[in-house]
Structure 1
Amino acid sequence: MLSLWIFKQFPPYEQIFFAFPRIIEYFAIFGMSFLAKIAFQQKNQLARDNEQLRIASIELERKAILQERTRISREIHDSVGHTLTSALTGLQTAAHAIGKSHYSLALEMIDRTKDNILSGLDDVRTSVHLLRENLPSHPFIPELMGLIEETEKLTNVEIACEIDTTIPELSPMIELTIYRALQEGITNGIRHGASTLFQFSLTYDSAYIRFMLADNGKPPLQIVHGFGLNAMNERVADVGGKLAISSHNLAGGVTLEITIPYQAKTIERSEQLV
């Protein structure tokens, strides 16, 4: 009975034949409208994504330029600043020797100062023209010792050093950070504190590299972080280390202490230590 009732209620074939294409047409129009809406939304989203990508690209380029400028300014300040400070001290020593009629010593100091200034000019050219990439590397510890010996010759200061011979090969950034910190610390001690004696140590305890530089100069009333100390702090932070500066040590001057987590050398150095 139920099936008979359904059969009687079912519309005639002619009506079904007439309505069926209309139903298909409705769903087709609805589907096309829905797809068009999705395509429009995706187009707008793509435009927004492209704009965000363009802005991010500009910002990334700006940061890259800023980082490169910062790197160049660090190099000029660290290497050239040290060179000029050493040269000034050498000339002062030569002038003092002339006043004491020690002409041979004066000529020797002038020759050393001339060589030091020529080296500084090379550093300026290197920094300005961005030629520090892909330069040949040199053994790290001998470079540190060379910096110490050259500074002692040019400035007549004494630098007592203790370097742990068990220090393994370090990553390029750590080597550069240590070298520049020593260079900047000595330069500041001579220029601002009139230091004549430095105590330098570099040790390794399987987890950390520990740097310490103390001088006997006049301690400052307040430690002001100028460009040099800020650059040093940034270098140390870049390798995950910490920088501490204190005054009024046992020798009377300033002490720099740097602690850096050990990182093995995995790539060739991209900057020459000069």
Structure 2
Amino acid sequence: MGVRRTEVVLAGAVAASLAMIIVLAQTDTEAPLRPLSYLFAFGFGAVLLLRRGLPKTVVVLSVLGTFAYYSLELTPIGVALPVVAALYSAAEVGLTRFSVGAGAVVFVVSTAFRIRDDSLPLGRLLGAESISTLALIAAAITLGYAMATHRRFASQQEQLLRLQDERLREEADQRVQNERLQLSRDLHDTLGHKLSVISLHSNVGLEALDRRGPGTAPDSGDSAVAEALERVHDEAVGSLSDLRSMVRVLRTGDESTRTSLGVDGIETLLDRAREAGMSVESNISLAPGTLPSPVESVVFRVVQEGITNVLRHSSAAALSVTVGLDDEEVVVSVVDDGLGAAALEGGHGLLGMSERVRLLGGDLSTQARPGEGFELRATLPRRLPE
């Protein structure tokens, strides 16, 4: 069902349930029919139409409505029933503490008034009815919290799969780029050398023909040789120029084959962490293009690996990412407030990342603090050695 249809069905179910309770209560007593009771029942249902946009307001109105209902001495409908849907709705959107507080207020206030106004012994007042009221309130809040946790987990899993898919694509692109680099080196070292030799020797042949004495009679064969050598020389020079252009393209790649593996791609990773329900704080003080391309690529990968580990292992709610310069070093830090177990669970991902960082002359460190979170920290040289 659509969201709006769900609200209407829930509101109608609550209003109908309360109205049915009022009808059943009226059949057991000789008290006159109070239309105001049904108006309140309709109101308890109607206010739930606002539960998505104004969950706190819905809880407050439901609690105050319950107190007003019993202050007017209307037909008893139970203390918990008018508020359970509102408490569930607030917990469902992450307002668990607020729901617990509101539920505690309803239970304490209703119990206090029963003790004051009812002549039954205290043991009976605090007996089965009070326990059932408390259990119903707790069940509504627990169900709402469970739904919120499930949705957050599902969202994080979805983002994790996206990050893993992106990483696989980037690794595939990187393998292609490595193959292109290897091919460019092979072309340069083999064909480039041979074309240079051909150009050199054709030029030597032309110079040898030009050094023949002025008294030497021109020969049609010499002209053909000179023309052939000139053509060989021109073709060799042209082919060498084309080869160098091809090697340059293979080494750099054109715009259609490049991937966003730099500082400018970090914000996309942070947005995906936010979409997974995490509170994200970032401090990126480096502009794209400031660092050599290999360094920027490893910076991106460190942040990607850190966020992936947080989503997969830490059960964190908040994440902080820092990328900046410290003298001649680039410092990358990914810190979360989770279980502090990512260093133990990260496995081959962290080992591979450590090797990438080490190859550039940097260092990767992890610090797990049980109950306080986990930090992934990398230091890289700002400039690569010549």
Task: Tell me the TM-score normalised to structure 1 length.
Answer: 0.48
Query: If each structure's helix is expressed as a fraction of its own residues, which one has the higher value?
Result: 2
Greater relative contact order (Cα < 8 A, sep 6+): 1
State which structure, 1 or 2, has the greater radius of gyration over its C-alpha atoms.
2
